[in-house]
Structure 1
Amino acid sequence: MSETYVITFQVRPDQRDRFRALLDPVLDAMRHEATFEGASLHVDPDDENRFQLHETWKDRQDVLEVQLKRPYRSEWHAALDEILERPREVRIWSLLRAD
């Protein structure tokens, strides 16, 4: 069953452009993965440096064992400590219904 990873980022104000420059190519590459279902990136209307990413995947094992290790994610992951004010918050949600 599909799962959605809800990831919240608090970005350092001076790193906002870098955040997008590194994340956008990852999102573009993910859409070609066989177990990928969709993603959406949101920004908090009250805080331009707070983002939330929703990634939906078909298979958790594939995410953990394959997707997180894809080469196109390495630069993004390596930069997170510099880009973020605090560690990202990750929550996993299981799909119950889709209309």
Structure 2
Amino acid sequence: MAKTSVTYVVSFEIRPGQEARFRAALDPVLDAMRDEDSFVSSALGRDAANENRFLLHETWSDEDDVTNVQLKRPYRDAMNAALDEILARPREVTVWRPLRSDG
């Protein structure tokens, strides 16, 4: 079966005053992801109009690997446990599959 690449777009809205805790929970996950074989890229941005909103793009070369392996990695546990207290509302995750790539 051919591998299917995928991009996850994750929107986070944190509670005011929680940025340091949010970054302390998320940054180690982003650092660890770089070493995964199916990892392609990630980017974290902040909403210019709302300092408590963040958007994460994660691109992976193998969607099955993400679903069956990557989401279960132990390095994600601390972040997942902390999010309930950090987030103002549940994170929103959308899944994007490529149609065209120029570059």
Distance in 2 between residues matched to 1:44 and 1:98, nearest whole Å: 25
Task: Specify every segment of 5 or more residues in structure 2 that has no aligned partner in the other structure, as ranges.
Answer: none
Matches within 5 A, 1:1-20: 1-20=4-23
Counterpart position of 1:31: 34
**Which whole-Å deviations, capped at 9, do the CAs of 1:41-68 have from their partners, x for residues lacking one?**
0100111110000000112221111111
Task: Specify every segment of 5 or more residues in structure 1 that has no aligned partner in the other structure, as ranges.
Answer: none
Aligned-partner SS, 2:100: coil
What CA RMSD, in Å, does the superposition of the two structures yield over aligned residues?
0.8
Aligned-partner SS, 1:13: coil
> TM-score by structure 1 length?
0.96
Residue-pair matches, total? 99
Counterpart position of 1:75: 78
> TM-score by structure 2 length?
0.92
CA drift of 1:98 comes to 1.8
Distance in 1 between residues matched to 2:7 and 2:67, nearest whole Å: 13
Does 1:53 pair with 2:56?
Answer: yes
CA drift of 1:83 comes to 0.6
Structure (1 or 2) with the larger CA radius of gyration? 2
User: Which structure has greater helix proportion?
Assistant: 1
CA drift of 1:27 comes to 0.3
